Amino acid sequence: MLEHGGRLRRAAETYRIPVSDWVDLSTGINPHGYPVPPVPAEAWLRLPEDDDGLEAAAAAYYGSAELLPVAGSQPAIQALPAVLRGERVSLLAPGYAEHAHAWRARRARALAAEDIDAAVADSDIVVLVQPNNPTGVHFGRARLLDWHARLAARGGWLVVDEAFVDTTPADSLVPSAGAEGLVVLRSVGKFFGLAGARVGFVFAPANVRAALAEQLGPWTLSGPARWAARHALADRAWQAQARTALLAAGARLQALLATHGLPARGPALFKLVESSDAARVHHAFARRGILLRLFESPHALRFGLPADETAWQRLAAALDTCL
């Protein structure tokens, strides 16, 4: 089992600081998530039904009906190797570690961003996160479509995880979903802040979606999760407000880090700072009740967005004293 961010209770126990006293910046999740309306009792009492409007709401929001609802991106990540053929797998590294873990039985190779273009020529499957987590590397949409075309011409596949693309939706490849050789993963965990609902979508050709559905089985999403996601995906006013707020908060975080001599990069929801001193800084922040995400390769820290002005001030004070 791989480690991920969000281990707040473990940090609270390690540093003997109550959970309620922490500022958790480790996850890259919108700290002002979608306010889900009260869930009707029927959602708890009946089996989930696929004609409740979730698929239609998702198709309208993402821009394609070539979708399969899944319990977050994780089940799809784990199931794709059983569905997609091809032995020569190339993955962007560093990247979201679950992708490499899922493809570990194949001839998977980890590549830097600048090596992906050349690797397309001799890969059966290329797996990317766009924008990348944790490095924030971003590929132009035209380049991604070129890679897809080159792979598909040889029967290959481009798999793109778009977990953090919602603040810049024009970058998404979902409008091209359904084309042979392309799989796009989306979820409501980051931008919508509904990580606990475990709702995601696979955009892919019909045969791939059918094979994944067989792998994952029925009722992959609970009724309450479907209720929450349907409302979030349909609420255009909230989405517009959240996108504006997150872009502003991301710019504020980048500027704050820069004033402390920390060059950072990443999408609106997080910023990555590479530093050989990352482990010490992570520990120093944790002692002050601020949880960051520590990476060992490269040595780096990921900063998520503070939830309120008090948290912003605590972050600024920690930057003043811990660097």
Digit-coded pLDDT (tens) for 101-155: 999 999 899 999 999 999 999 999 999 999 999 999 999 999 999 999 999 999 9
Is 70 exceeded by the pLDDT of residue 1?
no
> Whole-angstrom Cα distance, residue 21 to residue 194?
22
State the residue for tokens 């995601």.
200
Digit-coded pLDDT (tens) for 252-280: 999 999 999 999 999 999 999 999 999 99
Percent of the chain with pLDDT over 90: 95
Is 80 exceeded by the pLDDT of residue 4?
no
> How confident is the model at residue 107, as a pLDDT?
80
Q: Compute φ and ψ for 282, nearest 5 degrees.
A: -55, -45
Specify the CATH architecture of the domain 8-33+237-322.
Answer: Alpha-Beta Complex (3.90)
Scanning the chain, the segments in alpha helix (DSSP H) are 8-15, 41-45, 54-62, 73-83, 97-102, 116-119, 141-152, 206-216, 223-234, 236-259, 278-287, 309-322
Q: What is the pTM of this model?
A: 0.95
- Domain positions in the chain are 8-33+237-322, 47-234
CATH number for region 47-234: 3.40.640.10
Whether omega for the bond prior to residue 38 falls within 30 degrees of 0, making it cis, is: no
> Whole-angstrom Cα distance, residue 150 to residue 244?
36
What is the rounded average pLDDT of the residues 146-168? 98
> Whole-angstrom Cα distance, residue 95 to residue 136?
9
